[in-house]
Structure 1
Amino acid sequence: MERVMDVAAAVESTVESLLGIFESARLAQSPAVPPAQLRVLTIISRNEHTNMSRLAEALQVVPSSASRLCDRLEATGLLRRVPDPRDRREVRLLPTPAADRLLQELRERRQAALAEVLERMNPARRTELVRALAAFDSAAVALAAGDSDGLRTA
């Protein structure tokens, strides 16, 4: 059995490869959207009740920084600010249809790039990879949930 630190180093190296694949997919976009702006779009597309304070908290930035990011996205037609129907004093942040298309195209580009790499793997190894990733995800979720033994299995 490999030492946990050796496995951690191997995972880190693999994550660097994944990040390279994802960055190549992002740069292939036209126009290329900066990573911080993509993160904003991802956050608001996953939660329809995102306002500026929730966004700033999710990004771990001050509200003025989040607001500037939103200003840029709004200027490029990727974000809308609308009054929150539950509280008119709040402003809800919503992705535009163009942002939804951009995120979908990015997902498709990433998946195609990953598929190209996965095609080079033996099918049995791909199956092992899926099992290992499911176990890793389960352990990460358990850790985030405060599961002290972290022994949940996939």
Structure 2
Amino acid sequence: MGVNPAPSHRRSREAAQMASEVIELLEVLWERGRDAVSSSPVSASQLRVLYSLDREEGINLRTLGELLGSAPSSVSRLCDRLQALGFVERAPSPVSRRELELRLTSHGKAYLLELRARREEALLAAIAAMTPTARKALLEGLTGFQEAVEKTASGHEREAADGAVRFA
């Protein structure tokens, strides 16, 4: 007799649905943190640029576009806006006179530092309200989730996963 795969599939679907709901809650928390950090909060796309530059300081627009999976013109406009906010600076590349390097300014670094601190505070408050057993299960679940994502990631997705914050 074969094993009925339906309960396993149902549990996977329930886990995916719960993960989606948790992500939505995190987005709400993240939005609150982003609004509290600056009078001119950045968009989600701009934030991805800041995270990328934080991990890959000194990259050029082409490389940034590849990391983000975005068109060069879109990446250039994002960087223009971030430069106008004082978060990003462009400097001549020491390797090629035709390229510009992108770097976070001290203002951009401070923005990310404060944003991450506010988000961590929000997470710590929620996690502190959990039972020790639930916290342990959360850590084990997130670790397993991260490992699964890393195993299934390819190309740029793997690069993004490699630059992601580790749970454990």
Q: Say if 2:113 is the partner of 1:104.
A: yes
Aligned length, in residue pairs: 147
Residue identity matched to 2:23: V
Structure 1 runs of 4+ with >6 Å offset: none
More moved, 63-72 vs 27-36: 27-36
- Shift in Å, 1:133: 0.6
Paired residues of 2:82 and 2:88 also in contact (CA < 8 A): yes
Q: Who is 1:90 aligned against?
A: 99
Q: Who is 1:149 aligned against?
A: none
Percentage of identical aligned residues: 39
- Shift in Å, 1:110: 0.2
Q: Say if 2:139 is the partner of 1:130.
A: yes
For 1:140 and 1:81, locate their aligned partners in 2 and report how far apart those are by CA, in whole Å: 33
- Shift in Å, 1:52: 0.7
Structure 2 unaligned spans of 5+: 1-7, 156-167
Q: Who is 1:54 aligned against?
A: 63
Residue identity matched to 1:80: E
Residue identity matched to 1:3: R
- Shift in Å, 1:34: 2.2
TM-score, structure 1 as length reference: 0.87
Q: Secondary structure at the match of 2:31?
A: helix
More moved, 107-116 vs 50-59: 50-59
Cα pair distance change 1:65/1:145, threshold 3 Å = closer
Cα RMSD over matched residues? 1.8
Structure showing the higher helix proportion among its residues = 2
TM-score, structure 2 as length reference: 0.81
Residue identity matched to 1:33: V
- Shift in Å, 1:138: 0.6
Structure 1 unaligned spans of 5+: 147-153
Q: Say if 2:19 is the partner of 1:11.
A: yes
For 1:35 and 1:8, locate their aligned partners in 2 and report how far apart those are by CA, in whole Å: 23
Residue identity matched to 2:114: E
Residue identity matched to 1:11: A
For 1:62 and 1:145, locate their aligned partners in 2 and report how far apart those are by CA, in whole Å: 20
Q: Secondary structure at the match of 1:92?
A: strand
Alignment equivalent of 1:121, drawn from 114, 130, 135: 130
Partner deviation per Cα, 1:25-48 (whole Å, 9 max, x = no partner): 111122222222221111111102
